[in-house]
Chain A
Amino acid sequence: MQDTLAGLSFVLPAVVVLFTFLILPLLVAFYFSFTDWSGTRPLDQPDAYEMVGFENYQRWIIDGRRVDDFYRSVRNTLYYVAGVVPIQTALALVLAVIVNQRWLKGKAFFRTAFYFPSITSSIVVSFIFLFLFSGGGPINLLLKAVFPSFEPVSWTTNNDGLVHLLLNVFGVNGRTVGPWAETEILGLEIWEWISGPSVAMFTIMCLAIWTTTGTLMVIYLSALQNIPSSVYEAAEVDGATGLQAFRHITLPLLRPTTFFVVTLGLIGTFQVFDQIYVLQNDQTARTTTSVAYLVYATAFEGTSPSLAEASAIAIVLFIIIFVATLIQRRFVGGDQAET
């Protein structure tokens, strides 16, 4: 019974901290999402706020006057997630398989080089990319050197959607696409929904892939190194080619790792904030605001900031991330996932 006392006193400080700053805030956000509190009136006054039911959700998510802002941020986030997660996962896997080859010298060098970006601050990486992709910056100069006909692009201020740009090559644009594209769904015209990520958002996606791929590669690499070579020897005896062995042995054995890597990717990308904070500017707010950034902007920026409305968006984001994780559990199969 000494254990009971010791156990409780050992665990209590950490539990109090986690409860106060991780669980309680969730409940607080939930509560205030049903109020009209802007954040300015002191809470100890009796008339600081009123309960307004679903009004905030109505205004932002259902059919109120801010739904277009919300769903635009949903669109931006979805393009970001859908672009970053598959590419970084596939790149990480391919790189890990190459680094794991027996003939490769200098494994440690490649591991270090690939991992290094992830120890730097997201803000530092954002500034590096702001510099790389600036008007007279290295990316434009390199592209100009390789393709002499290339016209420098203003990467970080360009709102053109990649899909729109591609369609424009075939002569399809907002005027010629036809009336069907003007149909409004959830506050946005279909034409706006299918824009693809803007050039500015594409820059931020490159940043994310550049930073994260190395980390994921190291995770894949350690998983690959845990596959006993006897498995491959057996396959070889049975006459399997290298590609067959990869498809039927390596990939299935890496399934738990892939689940883990995709989960990390989803949770991280759905919350993208720091990079947007640095790389966004007034011109590109429309195409680069993520849902996470919208939460911040609603609470602290603009002419009428509102903590209550921001809380409502935060709660919806929480549900989105939760559902996304459930869906991918279905697809990638997390029942055997390692932790």
Chain B
Amino acid sequence: MTTATLAPQRTESGTIRTLRTILTVVALAFLVLFAAVQIVPFVLTVANSFKCDAAVENRPLAFIPRLATVTCRDAEGEFISPDEQVDGVLFTPSIDGYRGILNDQLPRWALNTAGLSLVVTLVRLVLDSMAGYALARLSFPGNRLVFFVILGVLMIPGVVLLIPRFLMLKEMGLLNTYQGYIITLAADAFGILLMKQFFESIPKEIEEAAQVDGANRFTIFFRIVLPMATPALTALTIFSFQGNWNNFMDALIILGGNTDMYNLPLGLTVLRGAGQDIQYDLVLAGSVVTTIPMAIIFFFFQRYFVEGISYSGLKG
């Protein structure tokens, strides 16, 4: 890996050196500022998810928790005042928000999200890798045509599909069913192209040797090729899982009619409450719970996120 920095020139005058130092300091300050802008909102979100609703709205900046806890309603059932919970940057955490979402439908939504993401990802791994292999290795009539159609499909904006998907699934009787969600997202163009590209990069010789030994294409694919494709399959797994874990639009259209079927993003919009009176304690606790699983996966598989990133925006 090479680093494309601008190397200091050997013969530079004092002014240039001063200028360079100023530039470096400005660049560094900018970088640190931007990193703070990216990180601080998450810190505040986590801190405020442990506050009572009134304290979120009136004392949002306190971010250092004390070792005690409070409940948001006192013995008489009255809400405590924000000042009782917050003092300067210190606050006494409350788990009422988390308790609230746990008693709500959130556990159900979390299960839905995990289940749907897992099943869609598994189906995609099979369908995408099979199609990718066929496009990379097998000569069948229409191979080129299928490839170009899949490339073209990448260009179709998702919002255009909202309405017709809704009415097609309705006609098929699949609206507000898990099956409807799964089958709609069972294959994706990005995954197929990713797998095709990977299969083209591995040497043909092993497959040819197996063919000489009399193995058919199905055996070769499932026994020999697929086990070699672990890196590509991992990248695909992560992208598909992440995409479905966070999928709002498809869930809204396909599962929006039945709150029992909601996934977490869709459920969060329900926790919000109606109108301008937002239940911040519930919403922020729900946001944290929704984010934690993805955060864990991110920290363990960061390499795959960064490697596959050039495709990230293309997933449909």
Chain A residues proximal to chain B, CB less than 8 Å: 2-8, 10-11, 13-15, 17-18, 20-26, 28-29, 32, 39, 43, 91, 94-95, 98-104, 109-124, 127-132, 134-138, 141, 157, 210, 214-215, 218-219, 222, 224-229, 231-233, 236, 241-242, 245-246, 250, 260, 264, 267-268, 270-271, 273-274, 277-278, 281, 292, 295-296, 299, 307, 310-311, 314-315, 317-318, 321-322, 325, 338
Contacts and interface: CB of A to CB of B under 8 A. Distances in A.
A264 B313 contact: yes
Given A14-B131, A28-B164, A314-B162, A119 B60 contact: no
A178 to B, nearest CB: 37
A184 B29 CA distance: 47
Given A11-B134, A132-B44, 17 more contacts: A6-B217, A7-B140, A11-B130, A18-B153, A18-B187, A29-B160, A95-B34, A104-B28, A113-B35, A114-B35, A124-B246, A229-B2, A268-B313, A277-B248, A277-B252, A314-B163, A317-B160
10 contacts: A17-B127, A26-B164, A29-B164, A115-B306, A116-B42, A136-B58, A245-B6, A273-B159, A281-B276, A310-B163
Interface in B46-82: 48, 56-58, 60-61
Contacts of B310: 219, 222, 260, 338
B306 A39 contact: no
Interface stretch (B84-92, B98-106, B229-237, B291-299): B291-299
A15 B306 CA distance: 29
From A11, A218, A322, residue with most partner B Cβ within 10 Å: A11
A244 to B, nearest CB: 10
A24 B168 contact: yes
A278 B269 contact: yes
B189 interface: yes
B34 A114 contact: yes
B86 to A, nearest CB: 12
A101 B4 CA distance: 7
A131 B161 contact: no
B246 A122 contact: yes
A322 B156 CA distance: 9
Contact of A110 (B31, B160, B287): B31
B6 A115 contact: no
A307 B171 CA distance: 14
A304 B189 CA distance: 36
Contacts of A43: 167, 171
B3 A311 contact: no
Interface residues of B, number: 105
A89 B130 CA distance: 36
A236 B12 CA distance: 12
B295 A119 contact: yes
Interface string B213-225: 0001110010000
Nearest to A254: B4
A317 B160 CA distance: 7
B4 A232 contact: yes
A224 B249 CA distance: 34
B61 A138 contact: yes
A103 B5 CA distance: 9
A18 B133 contact: no
**Which are the 3 A-B pairs with shortest beta-carbon distances?**
A7-B140, A7-B138, A25-B164
A225 B2 CA distance: 6
Contacts of B280: 131, 134
B209 interface: no
Contact of B3 (A102, A241, A242, A307): A102
A18 to B, nearest CB: 6
A123 to B, nearest CB: 4
B4 A219 contact: no
B31 A232 contact: no
Nearest to A110: B35
B119 interface: no
A294 to B, nearest CB: 10
Interface string B137-152: 0111101001001100
A16 to B, nearest CB: 8
A112 B316 CA distance: 24
Contacts of A22: 153, 156, 161, 189, 316
Nearest to B250: A21
B202 interface: no
Contacts of B57: 134-137
Nearest to A142: B61
A305 to B, nearest CB: 11
Contact of A6 (B42, B216, B284, B316): B216
B312 interface: yes
B245 A138 contact: no
A318 B160 contact: yes
B149 to A, nearest CB: 8
Nearest to B159: A292
From B3, B28, B45, residue with most partner A Cβ within 10 Å: B3
A108 to B, nearest CB: 9
A122 B45 contact: no
B4 A296 contact: no
Contacts of B173: none
Given A11-B130, A127-B283, A113 B167 contact: no
